[in-house]
Structure 1
Amino acid sequence: MAGFAEGVPCWVDAQLSDVEAGKRFYGELFGWTFDAPGADPEYGPFARAYSEGRAVAALAPKRDGRMPTVWNVYFATPDAYALCRRIRDEGGQVVSEPVPVGPLGTVALAADPEGAVFGLWQGGTHPGFEKRGEPDSFCWTEVYSRDKGVVDPFYESVFGYGGTDLADAGEDFRTWSPAGTAPGPETAIGGRSLVAGQFPAEMPAHFLVYFNVTDCDAVADAAVRLGGRLRAEPFDIPYGRMAAIVDDQGAGFAVLQDPVT
């Protein structure tokens, strides 16, 4: 499978206290299947998730109980070491230095100037998603920030993104397109929203991962039945119907149903 251009989301994982419970939750919610325990020791304790036999995500045990229970998004890069230098130069932080993961690739964690954490992935034998933008797989990510005057220049300098402000989003929202593409909705791979009115004052800057679904309301109902909760009930946006969900261990994510045509 071909690799991903720099700055394109290429993988997601959930850091959980109980991976087996996570497999039950997401297995029923999205119909995901998982590797048998120990099927691929190169991945360590990760459980790779598949939709229709194609890799879509991973579930991983938290190395420290004090770590947050979260979904992480990883951005592709051909050189994780060089990208970490740019992140520091632009006012971000490197949370975890690049570490080779056998032949699979090289991983690092970073944070933007407001503290929103994201991953970097320099693909080897594992470039990233085998399925995306289809039902039950990753489709979008956005960072929730407080100061766009700091955050927008950071990402656009680090990754070379072209930005587009969306007037029809009903809020201050900016999408990002990879370097070398014409900025706009057709090429956008993620975006920036603002932590504003509906968010608690203590809400930190963070990334939100979206999964595409065929029926937003049914998935939201299923998440609650499985022990999760809704941070935002299903509602319509210009790009479909979405809901914000917290799983039964506290990891937040969103689901998005394509517009009805």
Structure 2
Amino acid sequence: MAERTGYIDGEPCWADVVAADVPAAQHFYEAVFGWTYADTGADFGHYVMCMKNDRVVAGMSPPMPGSEQLPAAWSLYLMSHDLAGTAHRIEEHGGKLLVPPMEITDNGRMLFATDPSGAAFGAWEPGRHTGSQLFDENGALCWAEVTTREPTVIDFFYRGVFGYRQTRIPTVAGSGDEPFDYSAWSLGDADPVAGRLTMTAEWDGVPAHWTVYFATDDTDAAAERVLAAGGRVQHGPFDSPHGRLAVIEDPNGAVFTIISRCY
């Protein structure tokens, strides 16, 4: 079990989903990943902690008042032990703060922002809550990538904000015959922690966004559970150099990717 008690700055550390129908979402993710749930109560807007094997792995909440018409979506949070400094660098490098640094009681502090291409992401400064307690484990967050039409601008932005060492991978074998442009982002000499994918013509009409990946032991079996639980398989399953993937839409319309790793 890949247990985590903390993350370094710039690592994907948390993801949460806004669901118009929370009971439907809970039923779906329980069926797909085996998650169980703990509602944090009215004082926290009934934010739900999603758990795998009694470890906290993700969050879930109903829409905030006034935002009920916004589409359901998964949001990614990157670790920051200096949220004020991160907020400054976001604006300095052309991003926009949507939610400036704010306290979440003694759990920690958060901000929410968009990068220069419009992709939304959060940053988390830990208190009691240090992020997902499992990583790269069945039913837990394992990867994240930003998808954009402005790769040069976005590489510059995230390098300036989080100091990523970026390795461009110009040709990657995917599910089709066409190569695509990808950069893997690392922190120091460590293995990559996130990536950047350049949109092609097939992404017409899709805005820039971050995609969260959850690990599964068997992508094909998980895709079957998705369909049985009322979700949709948008793409796949298909093989990649790093594992077998499928792009999933939950019953509320939130999109994420599942992967069974090949090591």
Read off the aligned partner of 2:52 and give its amino acid letter: S
1:190 maps to 194
What's the offset of the Cα at 1:197?
3.2
2:50 maps to 49
1:60 maps to 61
2:159 maps to 156
Percent of aligned positions with the same letter in both sequences?
34
Q: 1:161 to 1:42 in 2, by over 3 A?
A: farther
2:24 maps to 21
Q: What is the DSSP-based 3-state SS (H/G/I as helix, E as strand, rest coil) of the residue aligned with 1:189?
A: strand
List, as ranges, runs of 4+ consecutive aligned residues in structure 1 with deviation greater than 6 Å: none
1:5 maps to 8
Cα deviation code 1:53-74 (max 9, x no counterpart): 1110011111111223100110
Q: 2:211 aligned to 190, 208, 211, which one?
A: 208
Q: What is the DSSP-based 3-state SS (H/G/I as helix, E as strand, rest coil) of the residue aligned with 1:139?
A: strand
Q: 1:98 aligned to 97, 101, 106, which one?
A: 101
Q: 1:103 to 1:42 in 2, by over 3 A?
A: farther
Query: 2:239 and 2:186 mapped to 1: Cα distance?
Result: 24
1:176 maps to 185
Read off the aligned partner of 1:192 and give its amino acid letter: R
What's the offset of the Cα at 1:215?
0.6
Read off the aligned partner of 1:136 and give its amino acid letter: G
Cα deviation code 1:24-58 (max 9, x no counterpart): 110111000111x45x6664411101111111001
Is contact 2:14-2:132 (8 Å) kept? yes
Query: 1:229 and 1:41 mapped to 2: Cα distance?
Result: 31
Read off the aligned partner of 1:149 and give its amino acid letter: T
Q: What is the DSSP-based 3-state SS (H/G/I as helix, E as strand, rest coil) of the residue aligned with 1:130?
A: coil
Read off the aligned partner of 1:160 and give its amino acid letter: G
Query: 1:2 and 1:119 mapped to 2: Cα distance?
Result: 19
- 1:128 maps onto 2:131 in alignment: yes
Cα deviation code 1:170-229 (max 9, x no counterpart): 321001112xx22xxx61110000121332x11000011000001101111111221111
Is contact 1:42-1:102 (8 Å) kept? no
What's the offset of the Cα at 1:166?
2.2
What's the offset of the Cα at 1:143?
0.4
What's the offset of the Cα at 1:79?
1.6
Q: 1:220 aligned to 223, 228, 243, which one?
A: 223
| Equivalences for residues 104-143 of structure 1 within 5 A | 104-143=107-146
Is contact 1:19-1:47 (8 Å) kept? no
TM-score (ref. length: structure 2): 0.92
Q: 1:89 to 1:190 in 2, by over 3 A?
A: same
What's the offset of the Cα at 1:21?
1.4
**How many pairs were matched up?**
252
Read off the aligned partner of 1:59 and give its amino acid letter: M
Query: 1:172 and 1:46 mapped to 2: Cα distance?
Result: 37
Is contact 2:45-2:61 (8 Å) kept? no
Cα deviation code 1:81-105 (max 9, x no counterpart): 2211110010000011111000000
Structure 2 unaligned blocks of 5 or more: 174-179
CA RMSD of aligned residues (A): 1.5
What's the offset of the Cα at 1:168?
5.2
TM-score (ref. length: structure 1): 0.92
Is contact 1:113-1:151 (8 Å) kept? yes
What's the offset of the Cα at 1:16?
1.0
2:74 maps to 71
Query: 2:11 and 2:194 mapped to 1: Cα distance?
Result: 8
